């Protein structure tokens, strides 16, 4: 019997089915479970209340990231609620034997940054975390998705999840990516085109020349925002770029084992002729640097564009949402994006805080200074490993000389659960992934951009086309 051609998603799924019964969601095995202080306390207490144990502490990895202070770690004690969560995570890990990167660990970082960085996330795996941006790990050709706290408890207890198969969807981006256009611009352009609910019930596979040309860092940025298109997961089939990134990392197989792993990983690719439920195609050569103007990531346009008018939206629900968004963002239809001033700049988050992001942004600000109208510009490395390497390369100095604050790693102003909160009424050029009302701080106004656009806008004091700054962006 010959098997029908399968997608990458189907192959990972099939490999992880523990049991299947008609009329029930399948039981699938989970290879890696990452947890953080924000969504795990109730899972551990539920487990304890039911007298259950953690089945596979060796496949579970914990980190403190969401509420950690980025200025001075000792400040943790000032916020009693955050401290309560840190203490609970440390206690739960101690009691159950789960490895923990606490906020003082040299390997600490945002959960979605450190999994790949340590070589824990590998092709063909199932990876979950109580956090929607777990999709970041799909860059390795793994099935990685966010789960709620009840599901965290389920995985702790059983190392499995009960799931229905999602529908595979392909987003094909053709052609060479233009200079000055980053992975962030590619994903924002995708979401702008397909909308924020196109991916509901689906897992996206990104393909095409533009995608193949991205580094692993870029692919992580891309997959990170799959959830902003409504998909629980996004993935890129593994290739030499993937294998090269993994090799030599602490949890990557070594020597002969690595070669054997690579051979196995190569099978995680979509077969020719496999069928997707939906296919979208974009011309990558036409993508320009993107800036969001509204309160969801689909409300986006090119930096050379203008704020749209609500009247240009046919759907009445959409029109109302755009009216609300423009009122919240304090923007008038027709305003040129380049005329929008910037008060705050945030370079960080699991979307854009890896070494490549910081290197690129530092090039843009080198030898210049943040505009005097900018109240605060933050550069927050995604992990302490990134931070150490950036400092070795002198990037911290470039940022601070330009007027940025250089911080310790954590989620920081992406979500504002620590002291890094965007004040009400302030407008922020942010490299994070969500521009929802109040996301970075109540009343704060978020514009999502790439690290180089954020950097260039910090210098100019308003949004600018980074391609026009004269900086060599190759």
Partner 1 sequence: MQPFTTHSGLVVPLDRVNVDTDQMVPKQFLKFLTREGYGRVLFYDWRYLPGERPNPDFVLNQPRYQGASIMLTRRNFGCGSSREHAAWGVADYGLRAIIGPSFADIFFKNCASNGILAIVLPDEQVDDLFRRAESTPGYKLHIDLPNQTLRDDQGLELKFEIDEFRKQMLIKGLDEIGLTLENEVEISAYEKSHQPEPEQHAPVDFSFPAAS
Interacting positions 341-380 with ligand SF4 (CB under 6 A): 349-350
Residues of this chain, 339-398, that bind partner 1 according to CB under 8 A:
none
Nearer to ligand SF4, 342 or 350 (CB): 350
Residues of this chain, 180-239, that bind ligand SF4 according to CB under 6 A:
none
Strand partners, 428: 344, 446
Nearer to partner 1, 45 or 400 (CB): 45
- Does 431 help bind ligand SF4 (rule: CB under 6 A)? no
Strand partners, 303: none
- Hey, what are 178's tokens? 């233009």
Return the H-helix or E-strand segment holding 194: helix 183-194
- Hey, what are 103's tokens? 């906020």
Residues of this chain, 401-430, that bind ligand SF4 according to CB under 6 A:
411, 414-415
- Does 133 help bind ligand SF4 (rule: CB under 6 A)? yes
> Within 13 A of 235's CA, how many CA atoms are on the CB side?
34
Nearer to ligand SF4, 346 or 406 (CB): 346
- Does 417 help bind partner 1 (rule: CB under 8 A)? yes
Nearer to partner 1, 249 or 369 (CB): 249
- Does 131 help bind ligand SF4 (rule: CB under 6 A)? yes
Binding partner selected for residue 350 from partner 1, ligand SF4, none, CB under the kind-specific 5 to 8 Å limit: ligand SF4
Task: Specify the 3-state DSSP secondary structure of 464.
Answer: coil
Binding partner selected for residue 153 from ligand SF4, partner 1, none, CB under the kind-specific 5 to 8 Å limit: partner 1
- Does 413 help bind partner 1 (rule: CB under 8 A)? no
Place of tokens 């001075």: 72
Query: Minimum distance from CB of 23 to ligand SF4 (Å)?
Result: 35
What is the C-alpha to C-alpha distance for residues 387 and 31, in angstroms, rounded to an integer?
28
Query: Minimum distance from CB of 26 to ligand SF4 (Å)?
Result: 27
- What angle, rounded to 10 degrees, do the helices at 80-96 and 41-49 form? 50
- Does 201 help bind partner 1 (rule: CB under 8 A)? yes
- Does 68 help bind ligand SF4 (rule: CB under 6 A)? no
Of 100, 140, 352, nearest to 234 by C-alpha is: 140
Binding-site size for partner 1 (CB under 8 A) equals: 89
- Does 51 help bind partner 1 (rule: CB under 8 A)? no
- Does 263 help bind partner 1 (rule: CB under 8 A)? no
- Does 66 help bind ligand SF4 (rule: CB under 6 A)? yes
- Does 25 help bind partner 1 (rule: CB under 8 A)? yes
For the window 123-152, what string marks contact with partner 1 as x by the rule CB under 8 A?
-------xxx-------------xxxxxx-
- Hey, what are 190's tokens? 């995708």
- Does 159 help bind partner 1 (rule: CB under 8 A)? yes
What is the C-alpha to C-alpha distance for residues 250 and 341, in angstroms, rounded to an integer?
44
- Does 111 help bind partner 1 (rule: CB under 8 A)? no
- Does 169 help bind ligand SF4 (rule: CB under 6 A)? no
Binding partner selected for residue 162 from ligand SF4, partner 1, none, CB under the kind-specific 5 to 8 Å limit: partner 1
Whether the Cβ atoms of residue 227 and residue 135 lie closer than 8 Å to each other: yes
Query: Minimum distance from CB of 407 to ligand SF4 (Å)?
Result: 13
Place of tokens 């510009």: 377
For partner 1, the binding residue among 5, 58, 71, 267 (CB under 8 A) is 58
Whether the Cβ atoms of residue 204 and residue 229 lie closer than 8 Å to each other: yes
- Does 386 help bind ligand SF4 (rule: CB under 6 A)? no
Cα 57 to Cα 16, 61, 159, 295, distances in angstroms: 19, 8, 9, 39
Place of tokens 């990392």: 249
Of 288, 161, 171, 274, nearest to 223 by C-alpha is: 171
Q: How many C-beta atoms surround the C-beta of residue 214 within 10 A?
A: 21
What is the C-alpha to C-alpha distance for residues 41 and 416, in angstroms, rounded to an integer?
20
- Does 292 help bind ligand SF4 (rule: CB under 6 A)? no
- Does 110 help bind ligand SF4 (rule: CB under 6 A)? yes
Binding partner selected for residue 24 from partner 1, ligand SF4, none, CB under the kind-specific 5 to 8 Å limit: partner 1
Task: Specify the 3-state DSSP secondary structure of 246.
Answer: helix
Residues of this chain, 203-262, that bind partner 1 according to CB under 8 A:
227, 230, 232, 249-254
Residues of this chain, 81-110, that bind partner 1 according to CB under 8 A:
81-82, 84-85, 88, 90, 93-94, 96-102, 105-108
Query: Minimum distance from CB of 357 to ligand SF4 (Å)?
Result: 13
Binding partner selected for residue 221 from ligand SF4, partner 1, none, CB under the kind-specific 5 to 8 Å limit: none
Strand partners, 346: 378, 430
What is the C-alpha to C-alpha distance for residues 206 and 188, in angstroms, rounded to an integer?
14
Nearer to partner 1, 41 or 238 (CB): 41
- Contact residues: ligand SF4, CB under 6 A: 66, 110, 112, 131, 133, 349-350, 411, 414-415, 432-433
């Amino acid at each position: 019997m010959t098997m029908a051609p399968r997608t990458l998603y189907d192959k990972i799924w099939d490999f992880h089915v523990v049991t299947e019964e008609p009329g029930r969601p399948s039981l699938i095995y989970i290879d890696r479970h990452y947890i953080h202080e924000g969504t795990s306390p109730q899972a551990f207490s539920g487990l304890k209340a039911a007298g259950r144990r953690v089945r596979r502490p060796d496949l579970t990895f914990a980190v403190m990231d969401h509420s950690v202070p980025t200025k001075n770690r000792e400040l943790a004690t000032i916020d009693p609620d955050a401290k309560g969560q840190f203490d609970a995570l440390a206690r739960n890990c101690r009691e159950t034997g789960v490895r923990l990167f606490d906020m003082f660990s040299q390997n600490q970082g945002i959960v979605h940054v450190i999994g790949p960085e340590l070589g824990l996330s590998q092709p063909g795996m199932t990876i979950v975390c109580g956090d929607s941006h777990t999709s970041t790990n799909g860059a390795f050709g793994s099935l990685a998705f966010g789960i709620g706290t009840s599901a965290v408890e389920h995985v702790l207890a059983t190392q499995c999840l009960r799931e229905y198969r999602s529908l595979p969807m392909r987003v094909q981006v053709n052609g060479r990516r233009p200079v000055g256009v980053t992975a962030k611009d590619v994903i924002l352009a995708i979401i702008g085109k397909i909308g924020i609910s196109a991916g509901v019930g689906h897992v996206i596979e990104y393909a095409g020349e533009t995608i193949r040309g991205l580094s692993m860092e870029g692919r992580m940025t891309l997959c990170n925002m799959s959830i902003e298109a409504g998909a629980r997961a996004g993935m890129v089939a593994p290739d030499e770029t993937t294998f090269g990134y993994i090799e030599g990392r602490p949890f990557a197989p070594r020597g002969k084992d690595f070669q054997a792993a690579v051979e196995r990983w190569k099978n995680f690719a979509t077969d020719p002729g496999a069928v997707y439920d939906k296919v979208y195609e974009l011309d990558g050569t036409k993508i320009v640097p993107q800036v969001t103007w509204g309160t969801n990531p689909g409300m986006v346009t090119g930096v050379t564009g203008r704020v749209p008018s609500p009247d240009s939206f046919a759907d009445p629900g959409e029109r109302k949402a755009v009216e609300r968004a423009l009122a919240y963002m304090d923007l008038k239809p027709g305003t040129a994006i380049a005329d929008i001033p910037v008060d705050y700049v945030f370079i960080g988050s699991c979307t854009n805080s890896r070494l490549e992001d910081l290197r690129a942004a530092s090039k843009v600000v080198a030898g210049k200074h943040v505009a005097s109208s900018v109240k605060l510009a933050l550069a927050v490395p995604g992990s302490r490993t990134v931070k150490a390497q950036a400092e070795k390369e002198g990037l911290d100095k470039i940022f601070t000389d330009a007027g940025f604050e250089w911080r310790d790693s954590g989620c920081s102003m992406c979500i504002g659960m620590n002291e890094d909160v965007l004040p009400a009424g302030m407008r922020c050029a942010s490299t994070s992934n969500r521009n929802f009302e109040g996301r970075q701080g109540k009343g704060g106004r978020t514009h999502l951009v790439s690290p180089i656009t954020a950097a260039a806008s910090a210098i100019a004091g308003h949004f600018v086309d980074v391609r026009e700054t004269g900086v060599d962006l190759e």
